[in-house]
Structure 1
Amino acid sequence: MIKILHNPRCGKSREGIAILEEIGEPFEIVKYLDNPLNEKELSLLIKELKCAPMDLVRQKEKIWIEQFKGKSLSDAEIIKAIAKNPILMERPIVITKNKAVIGRPPQKIIKFLKK
């Protein structure tokens, strides 16, 4: 089953859902702001994305700028910051079995699902 980590207020996230609807495969929408991922889930997601924790951070978010920008943070501290402030997480993220992709731009979702 395909999952999409979705923020309804985000245009790119809504575009991601539209792409999944066009593809026609069943998928589950996870509103991660309502049900935030914990540190363990974030660590697993980062492995599935094959990225560094910092690659998952929306660095232009007000919370990041005010609380974390310019600080030297370990990967564990970055993961903890995202867990406490889920708005910091890039979106949308599409997950299948044991792989994932950040859908920015949303066309990455199409390429990802064709593999």
Structure 2
Amino acid sequence: MITIYHNTRCKKSREGLQKVEASGKEYKIREYLKDELSEEELLSLIEKLNIAPILLVRKNEKIWKENYKNKDLSDRELITVMAKNPKLIERPIVETETEAVIGRPVEEIDKLL
């Protein structure tokens, strides 16, 4: 089963959802701003993405710039920050049982489909 971590207000996220829908594969949508991810879920997702947590942070968000930009945060602290502020999580993310990709550019999603 494919999961797409989706923000309905984001154009790139909507494009990612269209790509997943067009694949014809079974999927579910997780609106992570409403159904927030726990720190454990974020850690698992980051492991599947095979990236450092900082690469999942949306650094242009106001909350990042005002509260975290110039702080030296550990990976664990970054995960805590994202769990408490899901708006900071890059989107869309598409996940399978074994791997995940950030859909930026949207063509990255093809790797899982």
Please give the range of the TM-score, normalised by the shorter of the 2 chains.
Answer: over 0.9
> Partner residue of 1:51?
51
Task: Give structure 1 stretches of 5+ with no counterpart.
Answer: none
Map 1:1-115 onto structure 2 (within 5 A): 1-113=1-113
**Partner SS, residue 112 of structure 2:** helix
In 2, distance between residues paired with 1:91 and 1:20? 14
1:111 deviates by: 2.6
1:112 deviates by: 2.9
Identity across the alignment (%): 54
Runs of 4+ in 1 over 4 A off after TM superposition: none
Across the two proteins, how many residue pairs are aligned to each other? 113
Calculate the TM-score normalised by the size of structure 1: 0.96
Q: String of CA shifts for 1:35-73, please: whole Å, max 9, x gaps.
A: 110111111111000000001000000000000001110
2:66 is aligned with what amino acid?
E
1:57 is aligned with what amino acid?
V
Contact 2:96-2:112 within 8 A present in 1 as well? no
In 2, distance between residues paired with 1:22 and 1:112? 13
Calculate the TM-score normalised by the size of structure 2: 0.97
Task: Give structure 2 stretches of 5+ with no counterpart.
Answer: none
2:5 is aligned with what amino acid?
L
C-alpha root-mean-square deviation of aligned residues, in Å? 0.7
1:34 deviates by: 0.3
Q: String of CA shifts for 1:51-105, please: whole Å, max 9, x gaps.
A: 0000100000000000000111000110000000000000000000121000001
